Amino acid sequence: MKYISKVNPSSRITAKYSFIHGSYWMAFGATYNFVTVYLLAKNYSSSAIGIIMAITNILSAILQPVVASYADQEKKYTLKSLMMIFLSLSTSFSILLYFTKASNSINAFVYFLLLLSMLTVHPLLNGLGMKYIEKGYGINFGFSRSMGSLTYAVMSVVLGNLVDKNGPELLPLYYFVLFFITTAATVLFLRSFPYPNDETAEEPKNQRVKQSLSLLEFTKMYSGFTLYLVGVIFIFICFNIINIYMIRIIESVGGSEKNMGTAFAIAAIVELPFMLTFSSLLRKFKIETLLIVSAWAFTAKVLLTFFAESLLVIYIAQGFQMFSYALFIPGSIYYVTTSLHKSHMLKGQAYTTSATTVGAVLGSLIGGYLLSFTTIRTMLAVGFIVSIIGTLLMILGIRKATLCSQEKLM
């Protein structure tokens, strides 16, 4: 299978790549999860914070493919240099955030820039791992990504205690430290394993493809993959409806914030086994099969949550994270590299991230609207229908992309 390591997974390169993931997802979780805490302390209303986050996510969904297109072209700005630029920006904005705390409006704008630069690193980090795997380096991507999930969970607990003890004013300094560590981890990785250049033979003229594609050109060239992405958006609408409004779902069956924490902890723990062993799964199952299983698992999770009348059933539903999110996250990264031409790989990674981001924004808006005028049960019923549509679109897109690939080989 294309883009599975040509050598056995190497513990040394996997460890150093995992170090980047571990530090990045700590920085990600800190800046993203504590934005409300920080801005509320600056006297911003919840609605204002919601607008800031919506604008940030929408702009990041636009910016990520643009940045990726530059990296795909491998000319002036390589993937390596772009990743270092945006990590440096994130580090700089973090310390700037601390020194602009006297002005709330400037402070909020700097936080917006910090989030935008931080989110742009995400597809570049995934693409970096795939670049090395393509060149034969034995990176266990699933293991590295699982380390990100683990450190994310640990950071949430530690930072929560620090904020309780010291207040939110010091958050920018914590951000600075985490982004500095991420940047240092990236530099260490690149020095230990020099960035691989494309020194492949020139492609025949009849096989060459245009490197820089507009959105319209991309959707036309990769119609199956585009349909798959639309399915991802639908699935992540419902996925985020449940995550964002979990406290309301928990309260509807008599639970509390403590039970919500337990539900999220279950989801985080059950993710690890399949993420850790994803490379082994790829040797036994087709990537398309794993993604289809994940799509149905997302929908099953919604259905079970809809019928839940007790905390136990909600906890069981959270257990489906093992077959849904845990398979989708590494699977979607590998799927891009098997479905698209290498010149469009990073743009594909960015579009995938953008699809999940758009799903998050729409999930927040749709869920909030439904809860304002209907019930929890109605919200989950709508979510189930949306998830079914997304699952079918994903399957159709995957099958269409597979047929197109087979036709090109004939």
Residues 287-324 have pLDDT tens digits of 999 999 999 999 999 999 999 999 999 999 999 999 99
pLDDT category of residue 127 using cuts at 50, 70 and 90: confident
pTM for the full predicted model: 0.78
Q: Which helix (H) or strand (E) holds 358?
A: helix 345-373
Torsion of CA 322, 19, 93, 176, to 10 degrees: 110
Residue 31 CB contacts under 8 Å (≥ 6 apart), including other chains: 94, 114, 115, 118, 175
| pLDDT exceeds 80 at position 10 | no
Which tokens in the block code for residue 312? Answer: 């136990």
Q: What is the mean pLDDT of the chain?
A: 84
| pLDDT at site 391 | 96
The Cα 366–Cα 363 span in angstroms is 5
CB–CB of 118/87 below 8 Å? no
Residues 199-238 have pLDDT tens digits of 554 555 545 555 567 778 888 888 899 999 999 999 999 9
| pLDDT exceeds 90 at position 380 | yes
Residue 10 CB contacts under 8 Å (≥ 6 apart), including other chains: 137, 138, 139
| pLDDT at site 84 | 93
| pLDDT at site 315 | 92
Residue 374 CB contacts under 8 Å (≥ 6 apart), including other chains: none
pLDDT category of residue 193 using cuts at 50, 70 and 90: confident
Exposed, middle or buried by CB within 10 Å (0-12, 13-18, 19+), for 202?
exposed
| pLDDT at site 209 | 57
Q: Which of 8-17, 59-68, 210-219, 294-303 has the lowest mean pLDDT?
A: 210-219
Q: Count of CB atoms within 10 A of residue 395's CB?
A: 18
Q: Count of CB atoms within 10 A of residue 74's CB?
A: 15
300 or 131: which leads in pLDDT: 300
Residues 239-264 have pLDDT tens digits of 988 887 887 888 889 888 778 778 88
Q: How large is the average pLDDT for residues 128-142? A: 84
Q: State how far the alpha carbon of 13 is from the alpha carbons of 76, 190, 239, 375, in Å.
A: 26, 10, 33, 50
Residue 110 CB contacts under 8 Å (≥ 6 apart), including other chains: 93, 96, 97, 100
Residue linked to tokens 């990176």: 139
| pLDDT exceeds 90 at position 7 | no
| pLDDT exceeds 60 at position 6 | no
| pLDDT at site 179 | 97
The Cα 15–Cα 19 span in angstroms is 6
Query: What are the start-end ranges of the H helices in 100-256?
Result: 104-134, 141-166, 171-192, 215-221, 223-244, 246-252
The Cα 339–Cα 319 span in angstroms is 30
The Cα 95–Cα 162 span in angstroms is 18
pLDDT category of residue 142 using cuts at 50, 70 and 90: confident
| pLDDT exceeds 90 at position 173 | yes
Which tokens in the block code for residue 302? Answer: 């919604």
CB–CB of 120/77 below 8 Å? no
| pLDDT exceeds 50 at position 410 | no
| pLDDT at site 398 | 93
Among 199, 159, 139, 224, CA closest to 28: 159
pLDDT category of residue 61 using cuts at 50, 70 and 90: confident
CA atoms within 13 A on the CB side of 18: 21
Residue 308 CB contacts under 8 Å (≥ 6 apart), including other chains: 249, 253, 314, 317
| pLDDT at site 194 | 83
| pLDDT exceeds 60 at position 407 | no
With H, G, I as helix, E, B as strand and everything else as coil, classify residue 82. helix
The Cα 113–Cα 117 span in angstroms is 6
> How does 305-321 read in b/e, with b if 16+ C-beta sit within 10 Å?
bbebeebeebbebbbbb
What one-letter code names the amino acid at 209?
V
CB–CB of 293/325 below 8 Å? no
| Rg value, the chain, Cα | 21
Distance of CA 41 to the CA centre of its chain: 28
Residues 317-345 have pLDDT tens digits of 999 999 999 999 889 988 988 888 777 87
Share of residues in the chain with pLDDT > 70 (%): 90
pLDDT category of residue 181 using cuts at 50, 70 and 90: very high
> Which 8-state DSSP code applies to residue 10?
P
CB–CB of 39/104 below 8 Å? no
Q: Count of CB atoms within 10 A of residue 270's CB?
A: 18
- Domains, the chain, with CATH or none: 11-192 (1.20.1250.20), 213-409 (1.20.1250.20)
